[in-house]
Amino acid sequence: MKFNWGTGIALFYTLFVLVLVFQVIKSTQYDNSLVTKDYYAEDQRYQEHYVKLLNSQSLQQDVAFKRGIHAVEVQFPGDMTGISGDVFLFCPSDSRQDKHIPIATDSANSMSIPLEGLKRGKWTLKVDWKSGDKTFYKEEVLII
């Protein structure tokens, strides 16, 4: 078989179509979900989040995180009373693994969060709480 310019053009277009089909198949298999489902609503509420961050930075005693083998202990400041809110375990690699845990503190203003059932990897522990008339927010990276 003689290789001429017509054969070269045909091979080029055939290869181009095969690469294009391969890319389309790969792109349909990729999970391109957003971090949160209501992304735009979250963006509108950013000012509230910013106020929570400022309140957290103005605390005399910061929230402490102690990681144990089977649990993470969240220690809230001792002068806070009536703590309520939510702890969000955020898994950046798989949104189906995310967990919401309501805050339930003991008499020492601490809370234990079990790590059983969580897959290995990077997690972000997001604590959103209220004490009195102020709201607060703190997050910590957690490697399991």
Per-domain boundaries in the chain? 1-30, 39-143
Note the pLDDT of residue 45: 86
CATH fold for domain 39-143: Immunoglobulin-like (2.60.40)
Nearest one of 144, 123, 66, 131 to 103, comparing CA atoms: 131
Cα distance between residue 13 and residue 53, in whole Å: 56
Note the pLDDT of residue 94: 82
Spell out the alpha helix ranges (H) of 30-114. Answer: 39-44, 46-57
Cα distance between residue 23 and residue 117, in whole Å: 36
pLDDT tens for the chain, residues 1 to 144? 678 898 999 999 999 999 999 999 998 887 766 666 777 888 888 889 999 999 999 999 989 999 988 899 999 988 888 899 999 999 988 888 899 999 999 888 899 999 888 899 999 999 999 998 999 999 999 998
Handedness of CA 122, 103, 45, 59 (dihedral sign): negative
The pTM of this model reads 0.70
